[in-house]
Amino acid sequence: MPSVETTSAASRPLQTKQDLLDCLRSHADKISAFGVERLGLFGSFVRGEQDAESDVDFLVTFKPGQKTFDNFSQLASFLEDLVGRPVEIVTVDALSPYIGPHILKEVEYVDLAA
């Protein structure tokens, strides 16, 4: 499992959407190592409504054959350590037919290209 340096955001939670996007881009290779094809941000950070208690919401698409429990749980742990906040991860195929369309309208994808 890729590790996060001890100077990660865990000691200083990221505060803005831009901080999150920059941090995620700088760790794109580690994120991709979990089999991630696409990673999107949605929720309070995208809407500019985050506060000190906000979690970070991610929409993830795994590469074919890479959507495993281990990859999912290790990605969640890695992202929590990285951003210094609790995270919620949802896969596209797990989206509710009721809230899914709203998430898909606001999601901002992170460029994971190396």
Tell me whether residue 111 is one of the annotated catalytic residues. Answer: no
Q: Give the angle 69-8-36 at the CA atoms, nearest 5°.
A: 30
Q: Give the distance from CA 21 to its chain's centroid.
A: 9
Which of 19, 29, 51, 55 is an active site residue? Answer: 55
Domain annotation for the chain: domains and CATH numbers:
10-110 (3.30.460.10)
Instruction: Write down the catalytic residue from 57, 70, 93, 111.
Output: 57
| Distance between CA atoms of residues 40 and 2, nearest Å | 20
Q: Is the pLDDT of residue 114 over 70?
A: no
- C-alpha angle 112/3/1, rounded to 5°? 85
Strands ordered across the beta sheet of 56-62:
87-91, 56-62, 36-42, 108-110
pTM of the full predicted structure?
0.87
The tokens describing 10, both together, are: 């865990």
pLDDT digits 0-9 by tens, 26-78: 999 999 999 999 999 999 999 999 999 999 999 999 999 999 999 999 999 99
Sign of CA dihedral 90, 93, 98, 103: positive
